[in-house]
Amino acid sequence: MKRIVIATDGSANAEEAAWLLSHLPHRDRLEITIATVIHPPSYSYRAQPVESWLEDLLKRERDAAEQSAARIRDMFEGANVSIDHVAPRGSAGPEIVRIAEQTNADLVVIGARGHSTVSRIMLGSTSDYVATHAPCSVLVVRPTGLAKQPRQIRITVGYEDSGPARAAIEELRDTHWGKAADVSLVSVVPYWPGMYGELEPDPELSGRATEHLTELASELAPHVAKASCHVIEGQHIGEALVRFAEDERSDLVVAGETPRGLLGRLLMGSVSRYVLRHAPCSVWITRNRMIEGLKSSSSNSE
């Protein structure tokens, strides 16, 4: 993870997203692009007073963007990073995705919502768009109190025996959390009809899930403070993960997904989308390893 786009609109939520990134450990030099999209109002009326007002408005927006970028730069003072700031005009979601494509970003960091009156648990339209369409991994940040009370970050990783889940573990491991992270590896085992029609978990599935998680915990152990295994039961994987994250007061849920192409865009899986929209904490949608694998498979088949 070397190239990162931080999307900001100057809101407290956006700057907390930048704060979280600034406190994540990294070994390699980070190339950070701060993206502030200016969305000017459109008027067909060309009278001079209106044009003058629009110019003043745009200047205020540009000044506010520079001030927000300066505050974010200060968060990374002394860190091994290079920081650029861009402030294009346009629609926020598509522009942020375009910047991620243009910079070949490994990660986009964005607040769950910006300047709005919506509950913090709800997902804003811009963050929803970026999480759905970005050509890389996306970290959508919701505040959980870490900025006010520094402590180990509590991470929930949804795992099933699949390529996307394995890729999520690898991307998590490559972040080099050290003693900063307490990781819970979670597999959701569905219910099956029992002998008398009642729903009960499949013990064979539970056993296999436990074996996989135990292996992964051993693999992660050198890279985090703690890695624990949890096999839980539920009919809806996303709902079960969100419930676990709530009960454990997680700061971050990590979910891997397989990029599925549609007219050159990426579609988000149902589990990732559910977790993204309903988790009470930050959500990391990991795509990079799967994208690299798909590119490699494509080039090998040509």
Please give the single-letter amino acid code of residue 167. A
SS3 labels along 229-285 = EEEEECCCHHHHHHHHHHHHCCCEEEEECCCEEECCEEECCHHHHHHHHHCCCEEEE
Going edge to edge, which strands form the sheet with 30-35?
A: 81-86, 30-35, 3-7, 107-111, 137-141, 282-286, 252-256, 153-158, 181-189, 226-233
Q: Rounded distance, CA 109 to CA 277, Å? A: 16
Summary mean pLDDT of the chain: 82
Please state, for a pLDDT cut of 70, what percent of the chain lies above it: 80
pLDDT at 236 (0 to 100): 87
pLDDT tens digits for range 223-274: 889 999 999 988 888 999 999 999 999 999 998 875 544 333 444 568 888 9
How many Cβ atoms are within 10 Å of 203's Cβ, its own excluded?
9
Do 153-301 and 3-141 fall under one CATH topology? yes
Q: For tokens 């900001």, what's the residue?
A: 8
The model's pTM: 0.84
Q: Locate the domains of the chain by residue range.
A: 3-141, 153-301
Picking from 278, 284, 277, 285, the residue whose alpha carbon sits closest to that of residue 259 is 285
Question: In CATH terms, is domain 153-301 a member of 3.30.465.10?
Answer: no
Taking the mean position of all CA atoms in its chain, how far away is CA 142? Answer: 10
pLDDT tens digits for range 141-196: 999 998 888 788 999 999 877 777 787 888 888 777 777 899 999 999 887 665 55
Superfamily of domain 3-141: HUPs (3.40.50.620)
